[in-house]
A and B are shown apart, each in its own frame.
Chain A
């Protein structure tokens, strides 16, 4: 199969008026869905899935509806960064890591720098992923198949270790924060045995008069990641800002001129390192079924920080901390299309909906898709390039509008954040239990913040815990309970060793320092 002519032909077809129009509309819809707290690409794609039948009826192919949905997916990845940066509430789960440094940058009056960095990093991430996808999709599918349970667990451990091993934060506090996230992640049902876990029952059951006062059945579906993320970064952050400024501060005036955007673009090379890490790592994590863009962006953040010389500046407004997760979530979302199309396995919630779409349009995703349906595959790949370009242009054009939000005094912004957090949580899951839980997490996060606990590790743990736990236990069933399975397999072994070394590094560091202080006699 000749890739280059096929791709050129694909791009040409993606530029056909109807497809181009679908790209533009899709990207704009995605941008807004992504920017709304609580709504992410999965909501956008699911809501609009029925409309693709209309598109299919008009165009008579399955390609145009898929181009439309893929454009929404792309747009949402760009859009998620917007509210993460301007409001400090993650617009979508994939953009949580973007708040870590994007928000501090905005508070310093450099919001346009953060937004521009996010847009360009997203563009590069998606482009890198597109090139990989175009050139290597079928062989990479084979790589994804090599990742069994032990390998995925090893990868999850590596993600945790990047947060422990070389962070500038207090290590015991980081560990406690991770443990807290892991405990929250176990609420619900045991995956292997099906037993309920940490659901509490009715705490007032002991006293007949108060029985049924508190409804804890909401714990049966587990603690959703967005509930924690919105609580921590929406409510917790809001209380913290009010407390530390006593409500007097207005947002630093963001100078939005064409020139400031231009100068932000010129400063982009500083964020190149994070962009590169995010682009490659994100794609790789994205192609693994079960992972998806959220773990990809969190891992990219961890790894970029790990390899940085000034770790202290992360979490305080380092552009690399914005670039890495943004490049990664775009790259991972293209990556996640790979197992969906070549294996028929969705790598993320959004691709699960896309997969359903493909089945409905009469396609059979799987190993034969590329060879049997080139008329579907290549225009779609072509549209990835087109959508990506459209998305970065639209996004850059809208930046002044987003910055307008920051000109509001915090006394107006704070109630807006509160309302958006509540609506966002309700919109995502449609029940009040999660809203109360979110508010509780917000207060808890504020208290932990006063005590100087890093909260990003807890957020990481609640995302990765539900992947790490079943893969570890399935591996241990395979090995009859022996942990050697993680070290003896060719792929998981090296990953495990790196992870263990990273975890032990602080201990070694401490030994080195204390040896130097008191040289052996």
Chain B
């Protein structure tokens, strides 16, 4: 126990050195619970731990952010946890798009996303379609041909049921008359590994999840689900170019628990805008092919509203909700 006291004390000294002279209206009085609504090793997890480290490294906060993974039920576990926390001022969460879809699919959870505090949107993550190099496929057209002829034998792995990955797979199936089989996984890391091991035939991983195996040449991107070609993959066409008017992004935002006070919200928005502006974050953003600018407050809630509308339409079309 004395050990943790020493650690605590020295951490405090370090942060005091760093922030001395800057007056803050509200500051956390204990470690901040930093919830990740996905499993370890996935895109959201790595990003959250990077944000935590930037906060520590640049001494941006007097108390540490303590990441906890709550991957259960495509984010349902995390949302229910957030709704019921006893101290909303010290609880923030990194979101995926399950922030929109899970409450729509499970009205029983009684989660209203508009009650969450809009701390800040850090980026929009992008999606690409990946196949193993041994499939011998190099273009989206070849993919369509192969996927059509193999029918249900073509297997897409993705993170969670009715999640981003599932929505994209549904779109491919519907728009191109395919019958790709979708297998939900706990996290994008496991999907990437199973694609590299050819346990599945394709994935729609984010660049950050697939990068290791892309650089080693094991997996190949065929198409990007973005509006414009990605600077990192200039030779990979967008789905729009191939004729289907569809693009899809994942919000990478930080939200506060429902009931967070305005003072605390102001503090965290300020904190994360500093994280956003840091060199480390900007470098991560460009090296992992992330898009989107910082967004907070009513802009962010407005963005949520649009996204919720869009996901309602998507999920209704796929029959996931009525």
Cβ–Cβ contact B72 & A345, under 8 A: no
Which residues from B are CB-within-8-Å of A168? Answer: none
Kindly state the separation between the CA atoms of A196 and B74 in the bound complex, as whole angstroms.
11
CB of B182 to closest CB in A, whole Å: 8
Q: Given the known A-B contacts A346-B41, A352-B40, are A194 and B162 also in contact in the complex, defined by CB atoms under 8 Å?
A: yes
* CB <8 Å contact, B162 and A221: no
Knowing A145-B197, A192-B161, A194-B102 touch, does A343 contact B212 (C-beta < 8 A)? Answer: yes
Q: A192-B161, A343-B193 are in contact. Are A480 and B45 (CB under 8 A)?
A: no
The verdict on A290 contacting chain B, using a C-beta distance below 8 Å, is: yes
Question: With A194-B161, A356-B46, A477-B181 as given contacts, are A221 and B72 in contact (CB-CB < 8 Å)?
Answer: yes
Q: Which of B56, B74, B76 contacts A53 (CB 8 A)?
A: B56
Q: Which of B3, B49, B80 contacts A29 (CB 8 A)?
A: B3
Chain B contacts for A345, CB-based, 8 A: 41, 189-190, 192-193
B115 at the interface (CB under 8 A from A): no
| Interface residue from A32, A196, A367, A477 paired with B218 (Cβ < 8 Å) | A367
Give B68-116 interface residues, CB cut-off 8 Å to A.
Answer: 70, 72-74, 76-77, 80-81, 84, 102, 105-106, 108-109
Closest A residue to B84 by beta carbon equals A217
Which listed residue (A146, A189, A190) contacts B197, Cβ 8 A? Answer: A146
Asked if A191 and B46 sit within 8 Å, CB to CB, the answer is no
Residues of chain B within 8 A (CB-CB) of A339 are 193
Q: Provide the residues of chain A in CB contact with B80, threshold 8 Å.
A: 217, 220
Say whether A4 faces chain B, with CB atoms less than 8 Å apart. Answer: no
**B160 interface contact, C-beta 8 A:** yes
A494 part of interface (Cβ distance < 8 Å): no
State how many residues of chain A have any CB contact under 8 Å with chain B.
55
Specify the chain B residue showing the minimal Cβ separation from A344. B212
Complex CA gap A513/B6 in Å reads 63
Find chain A residues with CB under 8 A from B67 CB: 46
User: Once bound together, how far apart are the Cα atoms of A51 and B216, in whole Å?
Assistant: 32
A-B contact count (CB 8 A): 147
Q: Which one of A364, A366, A478 contacts B155 once the chains associate, using CB atoms below 8 Å?
A: A478
Within 8 Å by CB of B7, from A48, A53, A145, lies A48
Say if the beta carbon of A412 comes within 8 Å of chain B: no
CB <8 Å contact, B152 and A189: no
B57 contacts partner chain A, Cβ-Cβ < 8 Å: yes
The answer to the question of A148 belonging to the interface, with a C-beta cut-off of 8 Å to chain B, is yes
Is B215 at the interface (CB under 8 A from chain A)? Answer: yes
B315 / chain A contacts, CB cutoff of 8 Å: none
Q: Given A359-B46, A366-B211, are A194 and B73 neighbors across the interface (CB < 8 Å)?
A: yes
Whether B73 and A190, one on each chain, are in contact in the complex, defined by CB atoms closer than 8 angstroms, is yes
User: Which of these, B3, B50, B213, B216, contacts A32 with CB under 8 Å?
Assistant: B3
CA distance A191 to B183 in the complex (A): 11
Do residues B70 and A368 form an inter-chain contact, with CB atoms below 8 A?
A: no
Find out whether the CB atom of A478 lies under 8 angstroms from the CB atom of B183. Answer: yes
A310 CB–B CB distance under 8 Å: no
- Interchain CB contact under 8 A, B49 and A359: yes
Q: Do the beta carbons of B199 and A148 come within 8 Å of each other?
A: yes
Decide yes or no: A220 and B57 within 8 Å by CB, A29-B3, A145-B197, A367-B216 being known contacts. Answer: no
Q: How many angstroms between the C-alpha atoms of A472 and B45 in the bound complex?
A: 25
B11 at the interface (CB under 8 A from A): yes
Question: How far in angstroms is the closest Cβ of chain A from B206?
Answer: 13
Q: In this assembly, does B185 line the interface, its C-beta being within 8 Å of a C-beta of chain A? A: yes
- 11 A-B pairs, CB-CB below 8 angstroms? A50-B53, A50-B56, A189-B77, A190-B73, A194-B102, A196-B109, A220-B76, A344-B189, A364-B215, A470-B186, A478-B155
Residues of chain A touching chain B, judged by Cβ–Cβ distance below 8 Å, are 29, 32-33, 36, 46-51, 53-54, 144-149, 188-196, 217, 220-222, 289-290, 339, 343-346, 349, 352-353, 355-356, 359-360, 364-368, 470, 474, 477-478, 480
New A-B pairs, 13, CB < 8 Å, besides A345-B193, A360-B50: A49-B56, A53-B56, A147-B197, A188-B77, A191-B73, A194-B105, A194-B106, A195-B73, A221-B77, A289-B190, A346-B41, A360-B49, A474-B183
